[in-house]
Amino acid sequence: MVTRLARLCLFSLSLIVFSACSDSSEITVLKLGHGLDSTHPVHLAMEYMAERASEYSEGTIRIDVYPGQQLGTERELLELLQIGSVDITKVSSSVIEGFDPIYKVFSVPFLFVDEEHRYNVWDGEIGRELLDAGERIRLMGLTYYDAGTRSFYTKETPINHPDDLSGLRIRVQESPASIQMVNLLGGSATPISWGEIYTALQQGIVDGAENNAPSFHLSRHYEVARFYSINEHTAVPDILYISLATWNRLTETEQEIIQKAADESAIYQRRLWREATDRAMDEVQAAGVEVVYPDKQPFIERLQPLYQVYMDESDELKQFIERIQELADG
């Protein structure tokens, strides 16, 4: 039987990317794969990054963007980056937890007090340290994309209190932290890949899921999940990574160009994100979705044991949590 690693290695043969010569000009071609729809703000931001990189390099850097899991799921793309077969990907920080537990910090429930707080973390010293931690798993972190706050959406009944999750199968990302959170709230956490959620909701494999408003809208999950409960339990960013093997092949000038283009794309994406969030909320409500705003305090109280688990897991994780909290206080 062909093992998963063997399949990935065979697949990688068709994806290996390198600098090549075209006529007399040397072109560096990089493949960027991700799982989102081509209308998603994060996809548009990565297209913007590709444009900026081409402009700044006078056409000698080309980033080809492949959306919709064309090159694999988020987990598969991370593995392909590690062996240098795909160059760049965007993944939720929840998924990267399975590669390095330090990224659990982003899944701590109700850690960020507001949008300004999380931007200050991502754009500052803490954010840069966490991007650099990717080198431990053969990845180079480039930037963060805003993925808003995550809330529950369900088929049959709204979630006004943690007790309403009792007995419900809730789709979560392949994240130990997300699984722990939903189970502690009383639901039954069910990891399913992004592309399979609509069918899982439709067929009753799961009773609901949790995500941000643009993803709820653009995925059309609102067609089968008619209740959106805005409790904002986590604010999990997307992280843009480049393969460390690819990064080390680039010249210093190329590295500077790609980092600059990535930074500018993050600023661009935040504007798109705000617009997409407002549009998503308007359109799902116009389509008949019932949006509710439950009291957050019962959720915070129910999740206190999980918060302590994070603090006790490692000194490194505890220090990051405390530094993020201190930044909010400041």
Interval 190-212: pLDDT, tens: 999 888 999 999 999 999 999 99
- Alpha-carbon torsion (106, 194, 178, 282), positive or negative: positive
Q: Say how many C-beta atoms besides its own lie within 10 A of residue 330's C-beta.
A: 7
Mean pLDDT of 173-179: 84
**Which range has the worst mean pLDDT, 18-32, 101-115, 171-185, 232-246?**
18-32
Supply φ then ψ for residue 36, to 5 degrees: -85, 165
Residue matched to tokens 């040397």: 26
Left, alpha or beta for 167 (phi > 0: left; psi -120 to 50: alpha)?
Answer: left
Mean pLDDT of 206-224: 95
In the chain, the domains with their CATH numbers are 9-146+237-278 (3.40.190.170), 150-235+283-329 (3.40.190.170)
Spatial distance between the Cα atoms of 269 and 43, rounded to a whole number of angstroms? 9
So what's the pLDDT on residue 98? 86
**Confidence check: pLDDT of 140 > 80:** yes
Mean pLDDT of 57-81: 95
Cβ atoms 80, 72 nearer than 8 A: yes
Confidence band, pLDDT 50/70/90 cuts, at residue 25 = low
Give the chain's mean pLDDT. 91
pTM: 0.83
What share of the chain in percent tops pLDDT 70?
92
